[in-house]
Amino acid sequence: MKMNIILMGPPGAGKGTAAKQLKEAFNLVHISTGDMFREAIKEGTELGKLAKTFIDRGDLVPDDVTIGIVKERLAKKDCENGFLLDGFPRTLVQAEALDKLSKEINREIDTVINLECEQDELVRRISGRRVCKNCGAPYHIETMKPKVDGVCDICGGPLFQRADDNEEALKVRLHHYVESTKPLLEYYEKLGLLKNFNSLVGAKTLFDEISQYLKA
C-alpha cells in the first residue's frame, strides 16, 4: 500500500512510537527534519552546506533552505513507495510549499494524522522522562522505571532529566506548539486531509485505530 503521510502532534503525544509502528507495518520511509538535515550535510549537497552554516551558529534553518532539502529528500527513489513525514511542515509557509513541491515531484500527501492529547497528560508524560547520560536509553519515572533508581539498565550510566523537560518549560513549549500548529491543522482540514486521533487510548489501541483508517 503506497501512502504519503504527515504525522503531527505535540511533544509527548506518542509520535515516536506511532512512527515506528507505522513505518514497519506499512513499509514506509520515516523522515524527520533532523534526519533530512544530517543526510544533506553528510552528502555535501549545496543546500546541506547552507543548512550547516545556520546549524553551526545555533540558528534556525530558514524556510526556503528547509523546503529545498525536503524536496531533495522526497525525490529520492526510496520514497516512491510511501513515506512518513515527521517534524515537517512546522509553519503554514512550509505547508503551502510542501503542497506545491509534492505535486512537482509526484509525491502528493495522502493524509495528515494528528495525535491529540490533553496538556496535563503531556506534562505528566514529558516531565517524567529520564535519559541515560552515557547511552541515551529512555526511561520514565512512572511507566518505564529502571531496575535501580537513577541507573541505566543497559550500561549502568546515570539517568538525568533534560533541561527543557521540566513542567514550566514544557508549558511554554506547548503554548508555542498550539499557536504555530493551529493554522496548519486548519489548512489541512480545508484540504480534506486531516484526521485526528486521541493518543490517550494507549499505543496499541492508537496504532490499531490509525491502521484501520489507513486501510479503509
Active-site annotation, residues: 15, 90, 129, 162, 173
HSE-CB for 91 with a 13 A CA cutoff:
10
Between CA 127 and CA 140 the distance in angstroms is 9
SS3 (DSSP) at 135: coil
Between CA 214 and CA 110 the distance in angstroms is 10
Q: How far is CA 148 from CA 10, 68, 140, in A?
A: 30, 46, 13
Grid cell 497528560 is found at 121
8 A C-beta contact, residue 122 and residue 199: no
Q: Other CB atoms closer than 10 Å to residue 36's CB: what's the count?
A: 23
8 A C-beta contact, residue 21 and residue 197: no
Q: How many Å from the N-terminal Cα to the C-terminal Cα in the chain?
A: 11
